[in-house]
Amino acid sequence: MEEEKINGIPRIGSRFPEVEVDTTHGKIKLPDYYKGKWFILFSHPADFTPVCTTEFVEFAKMYPKFKELGVELIGLSVDQVYSHIKWVEWINQKTETEVPFPIIADHLGKLASMLGMLPENGGTNTVRAVFVVDPEGIIRAIIYYPPEVGRNITEIYRLVYALQVSDREKVTLPANWYVDKLEWKSSHLIGDKVIIPPANSIGKAKEIEEKAKKKEIEMLDWWFAYKELEK
């Protein structure tokens, strides 16, 4: 049973599964929608969560650089499409960042299950998975992160660029290749500050708001507060 489950998840070198999905840009058929292009599909645990918000801001700001490489981005979570739309609006209003790429509303978890994005403990939120897919629809790289730690978006950029160079030049790349060429080292949204766990009650939300008023912490919303890391 366990072996069947493992074998059912696509691996590096396998073709991305054919599936039609609902997104913030309408219905899309994958991988055909990006035929002839590289694309990166990345999942996030949930809309209106702080770590995911910082990731989307970074992906959005780096989108022009991905486009220069001929790479498209597409997000995914198990939220409904209207949640995605409102969250994208919030990001635009609060951070002055437009999210230009589609987000899959996989509210039934169909694609998330296919790609092994759901945690082993039975949780319903997707982990932070990354699938790099080439112009032929072949999965070339897979990365998984836990919910607690945000991704390094510049590393994902470095990875897909390295794959393109490898294909074009018929070479392999060493550890840390191209790292020094990357400009962005920390979050555009909160820098090197750390995120306070979102409130899970009205009382906790008010407590966070009071601390923000006293300048003890910083806050973008009741669910998104952050502070300097104590040394």
> Are residues 47 and 77 in contact, defined by beta-carbon separation less than 8 angstroms?
yes
CB atoms within 10 A of CB 25: 14
Among all chains, which residue has been given the structure tokens 């981005």? Answer: 73
Q: Please calculate the CA angle 228-126-218 and round it to the nearest 5 degrees.
A: 20
Strands 26-30 and 194-196: unpaired
- What does the alpha-carbon distance between residue 120 and residue 17 come to, in Å, rounded to a whole number? 21
CA distance 204 to 198: 9
C-alpha dist (Å) from residue 44 to 14, 50, 77, 101, 148: 23, 11, 6, 14, 11
Is residue 203 annotated as part of the catalytic site, yes or no? no
Query: What's the full length of the chain, in residues?
Result: 231
Q: What is the rounded CA–CA span in Å between residue 107 and residue 5?
A: 21
- The answer to whether 192 touches 186, Cβ cutoff 8 Å, is yes
Catalytic residue among 21, 52, 88, 190: 52
Q: Which residues are catalytic?
A: 52
